[in-house]
Chain A
Amino acid sequence: MIRYEKTKGLTDLHTHYCPGCTHGILHKLVAEVLDELGVLGKTVGVASVGCSVFSYDYINTDFQQVPHGRACAVATGIKRVLPDRIVFTYQGDGDLASIGIAETIHAANRGENITVIMANNATYGMTGGQMAPTTLIGQKTTTSQEGRTIAQHGSPMKISEIFSQIEGAAYIERTSMHNIAHINKTKKAIKKAFTYQMENKGFTLIEVVSTCPVNWGMKPREALDWSKEHMLPIFPLGVYKDVMKS
């Protein structure tokens, strides 16, 4: 008989996330992976500003909550002091690709042996659905009410592609949460990233195409379909860098 048991990697708190938001499942994937790898008690998480700032309430490890965009700098400080621990950041696209791009790129370039989980939902969720660097061309947000234009704000930033060019990056993969098969692939990617960290291979980043039904003005199912139809052509899935294969 197969019986489902909740991972020890999650606390018993109910999350504050909106109905249909993919953060809850993504938290669970991270928690399950840390549990399965047997490193929950050796892990320090870094909770960034954004919807996921409360990840420290849900993922059952020690945590440090950090200023907007600075997750990878704080993670650097932690990992340098505690090189035998597992250190990860959990960030959104606004936090990582906009205000925190410098900290993230330089942490990657130094080959900091940390894992970055980046949820890309093409918007600033917590502040109410403003345009992010990852917002699609034509996508309407509260700060691009007639749709984002290249002329005014440039094109969506492709984080996995950018980070694949960085020497110190060991593993970069973009995955999606739009169906169960892809959620399972996301978990495998996260496990690989943490395994690489345990093997001291360097900087690992998993960019997870996610949804924000409330700020997109969609039902949860519609949001999943929209992410597949509109985001995946701009943000193609796949492994962008793997030091063990290059």
Chain B
Amino acid sequence: MKGNEAIARAAVAAGCDAFFGYPITPQNEIPEYLSKLMKDHGRIFVQAESEVAAINMVYGAAGSGARVMTSSSSVGIALKQEGISYIAGSELPCVIVSVMRAGPGLGGIQPSQGDYFQATRGGGNGDYRVVVLAPESIQETVDLMKQAFEIADLYRNPVMVLADGLIGQMMESVDLDKPVKKRHIEPKTYAAIGTDYHEGRNIINSLGLDPVYLEQHNLVLERKYKEIIKHEVQYEMYNMDHAEYVIVAYGTVARISRSAIDQLKEQNIHVGMIRPITLWPYPKKAFDLIPKSVKGLLVVEMSLGQMLDDVQISNKGRFKIAFYGRAGGMVPEPEEIVDAILHFDEKVVD
């Protein structure tokens, strides 16, 4: 099954009630499949007039208590950032799928990881966070889609599934019924559905003109983000025994790095990998587990160095850090990563 189709089918399997989206390559198969799937399941599908409208429809549906999602790509995600900030500020759950293409500006439609900052730092205003899940295979995409809805509902916060054009377009066999961890989710008593249906009045709101009030709200959000950091970090440590070097990579690049690690093994060079699955919260603690004997970390991205910042923070100055990146829609070959390890010292960054 193609990645984008898997995303659509996983959303339905996860009980998504409503989808609002707008066409953009390379994620078009998601709204295309969902336009039929949602109708077949008696659920809601609306093709909005813009990405801006789509995320605001998501905001409305989330405020009404629905399980809701949108999907888009780089340029379109940029347009959604205002709405994502409102959804985070109003403490509503939703799932946003971002299938990254290359930028900046209109850029190209080939795979990229140039939106790491866009996903993990966000372009919306204010002190808010979005949980970001980065799959490296179609099966993991399906599993993380299901998790995304659970995490969103549990913490009443937007969750982004960050794929790239390669994941979206690649085909693999998947098990759609593979169970994921179910969370205990409270009834959505906050939803604004009419006062006949609950006690008091429900107002979905992020306005706070009084700084004393707003700071308290910011602190409530901060406490929630700390809970997320405590409980939701996911990562994989691969081939770490006897590792001389450790590659740090996520998504498609992690997958390519596995081939590079195999090739290096044939040359008797042992290389491990830290693969962040949650990009926020970032798996900082994984870096504390790297043995002292390791000579250095190689960060590989399909960008010119974005996750690199988080690796530098997490490394706490322990190891030399080298970087290898491709951009503009160019996908690194395993041989390029092998070469970067062989010439590690030349790639070291300050």
Q: Does A144 sit within 8 A of B, measured CB to CB?
A: no
CA of A80 to CA of B46 in the docked complex: distance in angstroms?
Answer: 9
Interface residue? B342 (CB, 8 A):
no
B24 to chain A: closest CB distance in Å? 17
Q: How far is the CA of A79 from the CA of B61 in the complex (A)?
A: 8
Given contacts A41-B196, A80-B18, contact A64 B66 (CB under 8 A): no
Residues of chain B from 51 to 89 with CB closer than 8 A to chain A in the complex: 52-54, 56-66, 68, 82-83, 86
Chain B residues near A42 (CB, 8 Å)? 194, 196
**How many angstroms from the CA of A106 to the CA of B53 in the assembled complex?**
9
Question: Looking at the complex, which one of A61, A66, A77, A85 makes contact with B61 (CB distance below 8 Å)?
Answer: A77
Segment 59-97 of A: residues with Cβ below 8 Å from B: 60-67, 70, 73-82, 85
Contacts of B86 in A (CB 8 A): 66-67
User: How close is A47's CB to chain B, nearest CB, in angstroms?
Assistant: 8
A51 interface residue, CB < 8 Å from B?
no
CB within 8 Å of B: which of A1-54?
Answer: 40-44, 46, 53
Known: A62-B201, A62-B202, A77-B64. A40 touches B49 (CB 8 A): no
Known: A81-B17, A102-B49. A60 touches B61 (CB 8 A): no
Residue of B nearest to A86 (CB): B194
Query: For residue B56, which residues in chain A have a CB less than 8 angstroms away from its CB?
Result: 66-67, 70, 73-74, 77, 103
Taking the closest CB of chain A, its distance from the CB of B40, in whole angstroms, is 17
Chain B, interface SS category:
mixed
Asked whether A64 lies within 8 Å of B60 as measured between CB atoms, the reply is yes
**A56 with B194, Cβ < 8 A, contacts A76-B57, A77-B56 known:** no
Quick one: which of A62, A64, A77 contacts B58, CB cutoff 8 A? A77
Q: Which A residues touch B207, using CB under 8 A?
A: 53, 65
Tell me which of B58, B61, B206 contacts A65 (CB under 8 A): B206
For B60, list chain A residues within 8 Å (CB): 46, 64, 66, 73-79, 81
B170 at the interface (CB under 8 A from A): no
Alpha-carbon gap, A65 to B62, bound state (A) = 13
Complex CA gap A219/B17 in Å reads 51
Contact A62:B57 (CB < 8 A) given known A56-B203, A78-B63: no
Q: Which residue of B lies closest to A71 (CB)?
A: B56
Tell me, in angstroms, the Cα distance from A62 to B44 when the chains sit together. 22
- Known A-B contacts: A64-B204, A77-B20. Give 13 more (CB < 8 A): A41-B196, A44-B64, A60-B201, A65-B203, A67-B82, A73-B53, A74-B59, A75-B60, A77-B68, A79-B60, A81-B61, A103-B49, A103-B53
Q: Which residues of B contact A61 (CB under 8 A)?
A: 194-195, 201
**Hey, which chain A residues are within 8 Å of B18, CB to CB?**
77, 80-81
Contact B64 A41 (CB under 8 A): no
In the assembled complex, B50 has its CB within 8 A of some CB on chain A: yes
Number of interface residues of B (CB under 8 A): 40
The answer to whether B204 and A63 have CB atoms under 8 Å apart is: yes
Chain A contacts to B: CB under 8 angstroms = 40-44, 46, 53, 56, 60-67, 70, 73-82, 85, 102-103, 106, 110
Docked CA distance A173–B86 (Å): 32
Contacts of A70 in B (CB 8 A): 52-53, 56, 59, 83
Complex: A245 Cα to B98 Cα, angstroms: 46
The yes or no answer to B48 lying at the interface (CB within 8 A) is yes
A43–B203 Cα distance when bound, in Å, is 12
Shortest C-beta distance, A94 to chain B (Å), equals 17
Q: Which of A62, A67, A75, A106 contacts B83 (CB 8 A)?
A: A67
Specify which chain B residues have a CB less than 8 angstroms from the CB of A65 in the assembled complex. Answer: 90, 203-207
Measured between beta carbons, the chain A residues less than 8 angstroms from B50 are 102
The answer, yes or no, to whether B228 is at the interface (CB within 8 Å) is: no
**Chain B residues with CB under 8 A of A66:** 56, 59-60, 86
Q: Are A44 and B205 in contact (CB under 8 A)?
A: no
Partner of A62, one of B17, B59, B195: B195
Question: Are the CB atoms of B194 and A85 closer together than 8 Å?
Answer: yes
> How far apart are B50's CB and chain A's nearest CB, in angstroms?
6
* Bound CA span A43–B197, Å: 11
Instruction: Give the one of B50, B56, B68, B202 with max A CB within 10 A.
Output: B56
In the complex, what's the smallest C-beta–C-beta distance from B192 to chain A, in angstroms?
Answer: 4
Residues of A within 8 A of B219 (CB): none
Which residues of chain A have C-beta atoms less than 8 A from B54's C-beta? 73
A80 touching B44, Cβ below 8 Å = yes
Smallest beta-carbon distance B249→chain A, Å: 36
For residue A56, give the distance in angstroms from its CB to the closest CB of chain B: 5
**A contact residues around B196 at 8 Å (CB):** 41-42
B193 within 8 A of A: yes
Bound-state CA distance A41–B200 (Å) is 10
Q: Which residues of B contact A74 (CB under 8 A)?
A: 56-57, 59-60, 63
| A80 partner residues in chain B, CB cutoff 8 A | 18, 44, 46, 57, 61
Which B residues are in CB contact (< 8 Å) with A82?
Answer: 64, 193-194
21 CB contacts below 8 A, A to B, read A44-B193, A46-B60, A61-B194, A62-B194, A64-B63, A65-B90, A65-B204, A66-B59, A70-B56, A70-B83, A73-B52, A73-B56, A73-B57, A74-B63, A77-B20, A77-B56, A77-B60, A77-B63, A77-B64, A81-B61, A102-B50
Q: How far is the CB of B136 from chain A (nearest CB, A)?
A: 32
* Pairs A-B, 9 closest by C-beta atoms: A77-B60, A41-B196, A73-B56, A74-B60, A77-B57, A77-B61, A62-B192, A106-B49, A81-B64
